[in-house]
Chains A and B, each alone.
Chain A
Amino acid sequence: GAVVSQHPSWVICKSGTSVKIECRSLDFQATTMFWYRQFPKQSLMLMATSNEGSKATYEQGVEKDKFLINHASLTLSTLTVTSAHPEDSSFYICSARDPGGSKADTQYFGPGTRLTVL
């Protein structure tokens, strides 16, 4: 149980285009999902918290107009990188929090999406 999927697993795009990444909780409903960014050989950096039915909460220094987050259902959150530039190239990972019982504060992670902007 507690499986989170991401799509696509990798994407290459041209500078100036927008890219959408999907994060799905497959066997549980997630009222809260998180989006992280990971640079090579580094730990994960929280970008934003995605709450179903409300606006996302962004961490300091993360441009909300650049990284659009939509959490339209209890099983799907999307991250859109708008007007992507080479410096946006990174590994993006989502997680979902299982709200049930003793697992309430456990985050389950997706497999990640490798974004390369040319």
Chain B
Amino acid sequence: AQSVTQLDSHVSVSEGTPVLLRCNYSSSYSPSLFWYVQHPNKGLQLLLKYTSAATLVKGINGFEAEFKKSETSFHLTKPSAHMSDAAEYFCVVSKRDDKIIFGKGTRLHILP
């Protein structure tokens, strides 16, 4: 069975410093993995997607994530945080039946 765990419910970083949002997954096969961002009272926007083509995936707005099979991790990073990055971030894993499983989310706070 597939599952996804976001290790931090809240992360606070200062503007201009690196961002690290952690995600671990469990899957009985090679899954597709996603990161989505949700700003308050908005829908979800796809940041990036891993599909086994490359372990380092570059997304929008300067975000990237690295798939590490040995660690079953898919952490999201950004070199320099911007105030506009403050939002809820969801790590997501696909299932074979077209459904997806959400992590519980990580709230990213950006300190001025």
Contact = CB atoms under 8 A, between A and B. Distances in A.
Interface of A: 4, 6, 32, 34, 42-44, 46, 49, 91, 93, 95, 97, 102, 105-112, 114
A104 to B, nearest CB: 9
Nearest to B42: A111
Given A112-B41, A114-B41, A43 B102 contact: yes
B112 interface: no
Contact of B98 (A6, A49, A91, A108): A49
Nearest to B95: A105
Contacts of A91: 41
Contacts of A42: 104-105
Interface stretch (B17-25, B45-53, B57-65, B70-78): B45-53
B45 A32 contact: no
A34 B45 CA distance: 15
Contact of A107 (B100, B103, B105): B100
Contacts of B49: 106
A105 B46 CA distance: 12
Contacts of B98: 32, 49, 97, 105
A43 B103 contact: yes
A97 B99 CA distance: 10
27 contacts: A4-B43, A32-B98, A34-B99, A42-B104, A42-B105, A43-B90, A43-B102, A43-B103, A43-B104, A49-B98, A91-B41, A93-B43, A93-B44, A95-B44, A105-B32, A105-B94, A105-B98, A106-B32, A106-B34, A106-B46, A106-B49, A107-B100, A109-B46, A110-B43, A112-B41, A112-B43, A114-B41
Nearest to B34: A106
A56 B13 CA distance: 43
